[in-house]
Amino acid sequence: MGESLDCNKLYKKDHIEANLLDEEKSSSRYRGLPVKTKTIYENWKVFSKEGHLMFRCNYKKAQWYLTRGLAKQLSDDSIGLKFQPKGLGHHGDRYHLEEKMNICVCCGASQDLTMHHVVPEMYRKYMPTAIKSHASHDVLPMCKACHTLYESNAFEFKQKISAEYNISLNGRGRIPLPHNRKVKKAASALLRHRQSCKDLVNITVSDTKRNVKLIPRERIKELESIVLQWWNQMERDSLSPRHDNADIAHSSITIRRLDDMSDIPDSVLEIAVQLLDYRLSDEFIEHGKFVVSELMRNRQSVVVTENGREIFDETRHDLADKRDHWPNLESFVIKWREHFVKHTNPKFLSDKWKIGDSIYTNVVNY
C-alpha cells in the first residue's frame, strides 16, 4: 500500500526467534484472552484540507469518509478531508501519527495478538471522557503468551491498590448467599458423579479401580435432597432461576415440582451450578469506580499553552480554554505505565511512546 512499510521485510531478522515461538504460543495454555482475527493497524493516513496529517485509521473508516463525499483519495493508503474539522486531531503527536506494526510490543510475535490496556479497564471505564475518549496511547498489541505472563504481575499491583484504598477487588457492599453456595456445590458434585458413571462404560476394570472415584450412595441422597429442596422452593414461590440470582436468564425453563430425587434432570443441576454466591446491596460500589472517584477528588482548572500547563485564571485566560485536570489520576496512569514497562521490557514498543506522555486526549505533549 503506497508508502506503507513491509513489516515482514523490515523486521525479518529481529523476528526469526519470535516467529519460531508463534506455534507454541498458540497452545491451549494461552486460550483465555480474545485474539484479534483482523489486522489491528491498517495505517491509513488522514490529512486536513491544508495537508496536515491528522490521524491514522483503518480501511473501513477511510471508506466511510470517501463514500459520503467527505474526503478524496490521495494515494493507496491516504485520504484528504474536504471539510474543515473542529481540530487537527493528533497533528504534531509523533507517536499517534507514526505507522504502527502488527506485532507484539514485547517479543515481536505476529500471531495470536490481543489488545492490552495498560491501565486496566476496571479503572479506565470510570475515568473522564477527556482521558478515555479516542485514547489509543495505552492500548497496545501483545501476543497471548506475553499478555498472560504479565497479567499475573498486574493482578499483584491491583491487590496493592486494593489494600491502599481499603476496598476489595470484588467491590464493597456484596451480601453473601451461603445457601446458594451449598446448592451449587451439591449440584456440581452430582454432575461430576454422573459423568464418572458414564465413563465407567468405556474403561477397563483396572482403570476403574485406579482412577474413578464414585460418591457413596448415602451421600448422593444427601446431595440430591439439597438440590431438590431448592428447586421445589422456587416452584412454590413461583420464581425463575433468574430471580434467584442465576447468572443467566432461563425464560424458557418451566419450573415443575420434582417428587423423586432420582428424577432430578441434568438441566436442573446445570442451572444450580450457575447460582451466584452473593447479592449486591443498594450501597454496592465497584472497586474501580471507588478508586477513580477517590483519585478525582483533587481537580484543577488549567489552561494548556505553548509554554506548558498553567492554573486557570479568569483575569488572564479565556473561559473557552479552561480544562479540567486531575493530578492524582495522572500519577495513577503513570504508575501503571511504569509497571507495564518494568515487568514486560517491551523491546518492540515504539521509541516515541513515552511513560510521561499526557493522559488527556487531543492534547499535544507539553
Please enumerate in sequence order all residues whose Cβ is within 8 A of that of 155, keeping only pairs 6 or more positions apart, or say none.
none
Give the domain range for residue 276.
Answer: 174-282
pLDDT tops 70 at residue 30? no
pLDDT tops 70 at residue 307? no
What's the number of domains the chain is made of? 1
* Residue 92 is assigned to a structural domain of this protein: no
31 contacts 64 by C-beta, under 8 angstroms: no
* Residue 136 is assigned to a structural domain of this protein: no
* Residue 214 is assigned to a structural domain of this protein: yes
Q: What is the CA radius of gyration of the chain?
A: 28
Percentage of the chain exceeding pLDDT 90? 55
* Residue 118 is assigned to a structural domain of this protein: no
Give the C-alpha separation, 157 to 116, whole Å: 16
* Residue 271 is assigned to a structural domain of this protein: yes
* Residue 193 is assigned to a structural domain of this protein: yes
The residue with greater pLDDT, 177 or 26, is: 177
pLDDT digits (tens, 9 = 90+) for 134-185: 789 999 999 999 999 999 999 999 999 999 999 999 999 999 999 999 999 9
The answer, as to whether pTM is greater than 0.85, is no
Across the range 206-223, mean pLDDT stands at: 76
Across the range 39-61, mean pLDDT stands at: 93
Q: What is the pLDDT of residue 361?
A: 82
